[in-house]
Structure 1
Amino acid sequence: MIRIFIDADACPVRDETYRVAQRHGLQTFVVSNRMIAIPSSPLIERIVVTQGMDVADDWIAEQVNAHDIVISADIPLAARCVARGACVLDPRGRILDEDAIGMALAMRNLMEDLRATGAITQGGRGFTRADRSTFLSALDTAVVRGRKRAAQAR
């Protein structure tokens, strides 16, 4: 069975994820280190982890299985989840899979180094309505693909 895990502390697409999860009947875990409001649904579960560096990431990485879907902009977490067979989507709808995660990690590390040297001082572009739309489409696609892969694995 496919499950969805949301790295929720700074996730701008929680509401969109809830709607897709409800439509497809998927168990969804909203993982954060603080209380976050969630819809009242037997399919949606709030997981509040203790405060600390990467505690929510660790919980997700330990729980996720093949065919699960993870929503996160955290590239190192994405790499850990992909290694376990999960499909990872960032909030802009970019699929981070085995083919894409290596480049994503390299770019993250490069940008981190450039920021540390002061070569880059601006953040990324703002989150747009088009980003939400792209995310919704990518999440629906990930659910359909995940179901097909899970059925083939049986």
Structure 2
Amino acid sequence: MKFHYLLLLLSIAFITSCSSHKKINKLASELNCNKSIEFVFDKQSNLVKIVKTGPSIGESKIPDYESTFVAAVEELQKSMNTKLNVENTFGFPTDSVVRVVVKIEKIEWNFRAADAIMNTEINFKVQNREFPITGTNTVYWHGTKKGNLHKSLKSGIYQFLSLYCNQ
């Protein structure tokens, strides 16, 4: 009987940890920017360290930040009506495409008794305007640096798009 109870608790923890991720996909499908958006990943972001606080068990591999960012953009693109992509270089501005320079400023992973929260501070720069955003992801059971970074970046990108497209 105890095993069934433990299995039920683990199932609930897994389902609730995925719910915010799926909620972002649904909310993103409702966004509609009037221009395509090209993100340019600032290579200085790769120098940011993941700062862990609180008790944690084990280590996972440090992810490639740029490919994790690209994957987060591609996943959001699947849900949206707006064209999103990532470019490696700065291009010339056009009337139909918005270029956004993205820089990860800080990554904190806070472990607590029942969960772990990753906060990723991201700076989105569009022409001369800056949008400082904190993407978050909470896990209740098990998480890796790459998985949590992916979801916190996705959260931050969605927040930026929500602000930018609705202005």
Give TM-score scaled by structure 2 length. 0.27
Q: Which has the higher contact order (CA 8 A, sep 6+)?
A: 2
- Which structure has the bigger radius of gyration? 2
Give TM-score scaled by structure 1 length. 0.29
Higher strand share: 2
Higher helix share: 1
